[in-house]
Structure 1
Amino acid sequence: MGVHRGRVAAITAAVLAATLLTPPAAADEPITDPIPEDPAPAEFGLVLQPYAQLPATEPTPPATDPRLIRHNRINHIGEVPDGSGRRYVPDLNGPLHLLDDGQQHRYLDFRERFEHFFSGKGMGSGFGFVTFHPEFATNGKFYTVHSEGEGAIATRPPTYPNQPDAVVQSVVTEWTADDPAANTFTGTHRELFRYGFATYIHAVQQIDFNPTARPGDPDYGLLYLGVGDGGIGLDTDIPQDLSTPAGKILRIDPAGTNGPNGQYGIPADNPFAGQPGALGEIYAVGMRDPHRFSWDPEGEHAMYLGHIGQHAIEAVYEVRAGDNFGWSQREGDLTFRPETQCYLYPLPPDDATYGYTYPVAAYDHDPPPNWPCNSDSGHAISGGQVYRGHDLPQLRGKYVFGDLVDGRVFYTEVDQMRRGGPRARLHELQLFDTAGTRLRMSDFVGDGRVDLRFGTDSQRNLYLLAKANGMIWKVTGTRPARDSEVTEQVRRNLVAHYDFEHPFAADDSRELDSGASGTLLSLLNGGQDMRVRDSAFPGSNNALQTRQITPDADGNDDWKAGVWDPGGVASLEAFNGTDGATVMGWFKMTGDNPAPNTTTPEPGDRYNAVGLAGVLTGDSDGHDVRALLELIEVDGQLRLVALGRRLDGGASQTFAARPDWRELLPPGQWVHLAATFDYTTGRMALYRNGAPVPGFYTDPGDPWQVDGTGTTASTPRGIKIGGSFPGNDRERNPCHCRMDSLMFLDTAADQRTIAEQYRRFTHR
């Protein structure tokens, strides 16, 4: 039901204590990984069937922030509670759509209705949400929240005083339809609530009725408002200030009149009703961005909130009357300090005295180690739904939610989501299309930034929707999850792994590392266009395209990939002093190799090498390598080689394949290649499709100065893929090719390990 009367007095006292007291300084030891455990792979995945695609729309005024320039900005799907089966979908850019037996209707458009409608800045600005009164079929009433800009601020007084520098207002409106069954709105409207914010972020996100409340219940017909902190809760106490709506969940009675403007009522059983100095509308406090909330249709009808964090934790809370989630003294269940946002800190010894409520489920950002920790790393929780339908028994009793930016989908068991107990275990769900192909949401939408949301209908079906392409999918089934493409033997030494299925949501010209290092890879000069739909093996969807762009001019526009730091890439420390290394992956020749040499005046000259993939030395300028798989001239003939150095500044050794490279890499054909380097013995090897390739050493001596130890104790300056110099200061040795599932190991893998990994790829 949401209201737990027996707890209200105690909770109210705890909230007031938290408001009046400043917690003592926490321990000074920062926590850099607040939630060490990753979500567990789920044993099953969801089948997504396309349901509808809504029309393209644009922000008002036109936006410059690329995060707002989407196909459209649909952000929820629900069912009109009148038995008609119609679904409703709000679009932040203005339209309210109705979906009726496959037909789309534009029910209402806020751009046309309101002179000062504003959606051109801020992730949540615009027509944010709509909810229908449970008696809509007879009273025709529904409620919306939208944003208005400068003109409204100058002329329309807020329900509570604005901050002096307010730049946008959130407006809650009651609408009354002349004909509730109509697919286009005609009728009247009145304003209930208006509040201004000093920034364009964290305004009023969701408004909603508790769908589990029935006539006669205390919660029936009461409207909940999720009010953000306006972006200023970071270093102010506004989320803890009971005299302002910001950073709170409010609970109001649209049919009442005892609110401050006489347009709504304050329920007498609200936890702060009648409390001097506190707004009676407040239901729960201490929030940064209460983005999405929902109620469990069964059980105790718990209310769950997906709360967007700052730089560390995305959390799910069970919400009860009088709760205080601690922002900005707390992020999740750790101490937050605005001056050190990259890290959180342990709770103080007297934490219990402040009465904060902590998450029942959470995950952390885990930004790549070579990405600024105080920059957006592409994470924000999208609160979801407890599935209580009967068509998908594997999902029953699970709270399904996700990350709205990168599109990962998770579930937790509701039975494990206990207040005051350990956080519920997260499980990551795989996703499949109706043909059974495993895809990630970034594949479904064709963009690294998904903008994922969830919804449901009266039959408790689950829906996913995305702003990136304006699509809605219905979850129509489950199927067993696919095994990992990486064998356990390889995983033990897998430093970096790039499969080009994991665009970095904050910047999809970069690729996330699925290996242990987490090293972020840059797709140089071509950005996201370098990811192409191609598959080297079953279960793969994307590959990396590398190529020369301008063959007749010396330049630096070749498509290649890599990571480069002249001080050493700290996350690649596993290659510091390593005893061995392996470079392997899938390759396909897609053009003329070797490429024309742009550094010489002769038009017929070609480069003497074709770059595939390798790890640089600790003193490399972007060309010298510790372990490299490449095509290079040996005695005037291009050959497939393993080329490496044991000592920084020392000589290299080359192991060259005897077969013609064109037989090993025929045009247009995917081939799995591996090169291994044992620095303690000087042994090198090449493999093709899991089998050894006969070859020879080009230097019969001991250029590595083998002494039974590993490489120089220095951290590599980077990884290069598809060409030399990942610092991107010149073009050398470009490759007209595609690559898939590139792996870099800190051991010289043996023949069996490589053969088993090849079989895993081809027999999944």
Structure 2
Amino acid sequence: MYERRWWLSVLTVATVVSTLAAPAMVADPGAAAPGPDDPITDPIPEDPIRSRLGLVLEEYAQLPESEPTPPPTDERLMRHNRINYVGEVPDGSGRLYVPDLNGSLYLLEDGEQHPYLDVKERSADFFSGRGMGSGFGFVTFHPDYADNGVFYTVHSEGEKAVAEKEPTYPNQPDAAVQSVVTEWTADDPAADEFSGTSREIFRYGFGSYIHAIQQIDFNRNAEPGDPDRGMLYLAVGDGGIAVDNDIPQELDNPAGKILRIDPSGDNGPNGQYGIPEDNPFVGKDGALGEIFAYGMRDPHRFSWDPGGSGAMYLGHIGQRAVESVYEVRPGDNLGWSKREGYLSFRPDTQCYLYPLPADDEKYGYTYPVAAYDHDAPKNWPCNADSGHAISGGQVYRGSALPKLRGKYVFGDLVDGKVLYTETAEMKRGGERAPIHELQLFDTKGKQLRMTDFVGDGRVDLRIGTDSKQNLYLLAKANGTIWKVTGTRTGPASEVTDKVRSNLAAYYDFEHPFAADDAHEEDQGSSNTLLSLVNGEESMRAKEGAFRGSNNSLQTRQVDPDDNGNDDWKAGVWDPEGAESLRAFNGAKGATVMGWFKTTGENPGLNTTTPDPDDRYNSVGLAGILSGDSNGHDVRALLELIEVDGELKLVALGRRLDGGASQTFAADKDWRKLLPKGKWVHLAATFDYTTGDMALYRNGKPVDGSYVVPGDPWKVDGSGASATDPRGIKIGGSFPQNSQERNPCDCRMDSLMFLDTAAAPKTIADQYRRFAHR
């Protein structure tokens, strides 16, 4: 089961979230270009391309549990530990290093870990209990570490330090924490435990607990004699306060910049480091000479291509919608907070981004070479965390995995998707490079997602490498590191092209919503978030209906003695009509299909009558609450229902608001069609223009008959009422949870809702696609 996680600290979300009032504006290829004041809420309409290429992950190590200091109230910090990078000590020993934000630095040898240095113990004011990046943020070893024993760390210190310790440059107003860069010199570079000296070289205070100094590092491409050899880069965030000001654009402060310093020099403002004379702003009035590039919000991770052009790539976390990869060069201005990704940002309307102005070229901003947007569910508040943030990655130039060569491998640190772009396609000033999503496999060949590897809807993914270009994935969720040991070709999409063209909503239960994993992300076109009602994340079962599926949904009756609202079911509900499901508004047809397995006694005991042995006369499977349905009246429902005193598998449909329903009932005993403990693929189709309805089992039509004589639908060749659907119901009635009826003690997988009456061949082909994976 997935571990319970609540990620929203401010927003209170109802059991089933209502749709937003504002429609999304997207780019229409046939429409006029949007004006400068036209909001764009789908900045990058194209999704990452699902690649057939997959990575084989072998568990390499699990680091010890740890806890933040002081104890946090934000559950996002309550992880197994907070490991956030893996790299190799540059001394030829093969040892890997792993920092934990909660304070410890570990060394790994052949997967075996041991503590090397406790940064928390060395700092009386150490702080990691608030803010996603607070604590022991990063460590990097001098390229000549084998000879000089020098390495560098960055950590956070709290209020006492802010009040008492002098920063290198003036703190941001009302600073909450300070980031401190420290140089350590080991007495014996080969020792397994640190002993030596340290000195502080840089300190700066931030106005909130987020977006401080994320990464510090050296350019490993710089050989002896190269002017970049031994220069230390610092990725300094905007302190979380630049939404309403221009701090990242101002060159007189370090915030929202990448700094480049010489830790062996002494001409910096505090005499503890030097300012390289070849930095782009050296000698410019009013500018800090340390600045290498600027205009950043949260420069999370940067790395250099170890081959090719040797370019520096940055994974930059956006404010609301766009996650970006930049190729960073000296003097670049990435545009924040005037720009987010490729678009204009306005602090007063943060739900939207806007087109670039006609005179944009005069500003000289640098734009991403690759980017993806959040695609937040349409029935999720636009100003709430939607569970996305880029984790910068590595360009693979190794020889062991030829299919990865030349690819920049990165990921989304929240939902755990692993992505790549081709470096040959990442061109500054050109079209953004396509982004591909990699498939993932364990060493036994089982296809998994990172949420499966970690057992949590929020992964907290990071990506590291070693001197042989091996790639490593690590997650705070369970404190584990995996090594990429191979590649393999994964299966094609489980959805046929014919089904995809009309697939309005699709829930495969492989995509917990990272911002709140009591919800499931829609893989269909409507992008409608599904709520797991009452059971929440406990409703996820570690079982799939077909090869390649790892999870399903468990619905059930909870208390057969109580007429309450505690049954496990799932759904979407909006009493005003769910805009995101508008495909069913006036639709000419509908299809409901998916995998079902009964797991308990059905029908359930009836909690609404005094007879303790009375059972409901229906078992809810899945349906569309189109039109004005209140959760019990339906338009398109696949269900078990009593017909003439006998429970039958039925397609139950209603065409018009206020109109009558029709039922198509299977002839065969429902227990033969849906035997207990066995997965079965079922489908129901509804053609509103002709009045035809049909049932299918494992891709084949099911014999049956209509229950109501005549023409209760009043068929006239037109579609359903032009009314936005109230939602979707799964596993029972009333997804708004106002009352409980007709629970199904069942497991369900890959539920599909189409805005057309699918043809028999379409359903048969989709069943075969599932069954033959």
Q: TM-score range by the shorter chain?
A: over 0.9
The correspondence of residues 360-759 of structure 1 with structure 2, limited to 5 A, is 360-759=369-768
Secondary structure at the aligned position of 1:107 is classed as strand
**Which consecutive unaligned segments of at least 5 residues does structure 1 have?**
1-24
Q: How far is the alpha carbon of 1:671 from its aligned partner?
A: 0.6
CA distance in 2, matches of 1:102, 1:51: 5
The counterpart of 1:201, out of the listed 210, 224, 231, is 210
CA distance in 1, matches of 2:687, 2:427: 51
The reply on whether 1:184 has 2:193 as its aligned counterpart is yes
Secondary structure at the aligned position of 2:635 is classed as strand
Q: Which residue of 2 aligns with 1:46?
A: 55
CA distance in 2, matches of 1:374, 1:617: 28
The counterpart of 1:211, out of the listed 199, 210, 220, is 220
Q: Which residue of 2 aligns with 1:71?
A: 80
CA distance in 1, matches of 2:760, 2:407: 44
Deviation per residue, 1:10-39 (Å, 9 max, x gap): xxxxxxxxxxxxxxx981112222111212
Deviation per residue, 1:331-358 (Å, 9 max, x gap): 1121111111121111112211111111
CA distance in 1, matches of 2:432, 2:725: 38
Deviation per residue, 1:177-228 (Å, 9 max, x gap): 1111111111111101010011000000000001000111110101000000
Q: How far is the alpha carbon of 1:300 from its aligned partner?
A: 2.0
Amino acid at match of 1:350: D
CA distance in 2, matches of 1:516, 1:361: 23
Secondary structure at the aligned position of 1:105 is classed as strand
Amino acid at match of 1:315: S
CA distance in 1, matches of 2:662, 2:431: 54
Amino acid at match of 1:73: R
CA distance in 2, matches of 1:692, 1:26: 51
Amino acid at match of 1:135: D
Amino acid at match of 1:554: N
Q: Which residue of 1 aligns with 2:132?
A: 123
Deviates more, 1:206-215 or 1:153-162: 153-162
Contact 1:126-1:147 at 8 Å conserved across structures: yes
Secondary structure at the aligned position of 1:495 is classed as strand
Contact 1:168-1:200 at 8 Å conserved across structures: yes
Q: How far is the alpha carbon of 1:630 from its aligned partner?
A: 0.5
Contact 2:627-2:656 at 8 Å conserved across structures: no
Secondary structure at the aligned position of 1:342 is classed as coil
Deviates more, 1:151-160 or 1:120-129: 151-160
CA distance in 1, matches of 2:629, 2:697: 28
The correspondence of residues 256-275 of structure 1 with structure 2, limited to 5 A, is 256-275=265-284
The counterpart of 1:173, out of the listed 182, 189, 202, is 182
Contact 1:26-1:335 at 8 Å conserved across structures: no
The reply on whether 1:253 has 2:253 as its aligned counterpart is no
Secondary structure at the aligned position of 2:243 is classed as coil
Runs (4+) of structure 1 exceeding 4 A deviation are none
Q: Which residue of 1 aligns with 2:16?
A: none
Secondary structure at the aligned position of 2:612 is classed as coil
CA distance in 2, matches of 1:328, 1:166: 20
CA distance in 2, matches of 1:274, 1:149: 34
- Output the TM-score relative to the length of structure 1: 0.96
Amino acid at match of 1:54: L
Q: How far is the alpha carbon of 1:738 from its aligned partner?
A: 0.2
The correspondence of residues 133-172 of structure 1 with structure 2, limited to 5 A, is 133-172=142-181
The correspondence of residues 187-336 of structure 1 with structure 2, limited to 5 A, is 187-336=196-345
CA distance in 2, matches of 1:455, 1:707: 62
Contact 1:617-1:624 at 8 Å conserved across structures: no
Secondary structure at the aligned position of 1:593 is classed as coil
Contact 2:84-2:475 at 8 Å conserved across structures: yes
Q: Which residue of 2 aligns with 1:93?
A: 102
Contact 2:217-2:234 at 8 Å conserved across structures: yes
Contact 1:222-1:254 at 8 Å conserved across structures: yes
Q: How far is the alpha carbon of 1:111 from its aligned partner?
A: 2.2
Contact 2:52-2:492 at 8 Å conserved across structures: no
RMSD of aligned residue pairs (Cα, Å): 1.1
CA distance in 2, matches of 1:297, 1:617: 55
Q: How far is the alpha carbon of 1:101 from its aligned partner?
A: 2.3
Q: Which residue of 2 aligns with 1:11?
A: none
Amino acid at match of 1:228: G
Q: How far is the alpha carbon of 1:544 from its aligned partner?
A: 0.2
Q: How far is the alpha carbon of 1:481 from its aligned partner?
A: 2.3
Secondary structure at the aligned position of 1:234 is classed as helix
Secondary structure at the aligned position of 1:112 is classed as helix
Deviation per residue, 1:46-79 (Å, 9 max, x gap): 1111111111111111111111111111110000
Amino acid at match of 1:594: P
CA distance in 2, matches of 1:617, 1:112: 60
Deviates more, 1:248-257 or 1:693-702: 693-702
CA distance in 2, matches of 1:681, 1:713: 17
Amino acid at match of 1:118: F
Q: How far is the alpha carbon of 1:41 from its aligned partner?
A: 2.0
CA distance in 1, matches of 2:663, 2:358: 60
Secondary structure at the aligned position of 2:486 is classed as strand
Q: Which residue of 2 aligns with 1:13?
A: none
Q: State percent identity of aligned pairs.
A: 76
CA distance in 1, matches of 2:335, 2:38: 20
Q: How far is the alpha carbon of 1:43 from its aligned partner?
A: 3.1
- Report how many residues are paired: 740
Amino acid at match of 2:744: C
**Which consecutive unaligned segments of at least 5 residues does structure 2 have?**
1-33
Deviation per residue, 1:456-475 (Å, 9 max, x gap): 00001111111111111111
Amino acid at match of 2:536: G
Secondary structure at the aligned position of 1:111 is classed as helix
Q: How far is the alpha carbon of 1:372 from its aligned partner?
A: 1.1
CA distance in 1, matches of 2:426, 2:111: 37
Q: How far is the alpha carbon of 1:424 from its aligned partner?
A: 1.0
Contact 2:41-2:351 at 8 Å conserved across structures: yes
Q: How far is the alpha carbon of 1:155 from its aligned partner?
A: 1.6
The counterpart of 1:29, out of the listed 30, 38, 46, is 38
- Output the TM-score relative to the length of structure 2: 0.95
Q: How far is the alpha carbon of 1:163 from its aligned partner?
A: 2.5
Contact 2:592-2:638 at 8 Å conserved across structures: yes
Contact 1:26-1:347 at 8 Å conserved across structures: no
Amino acid at match of 1:374: N
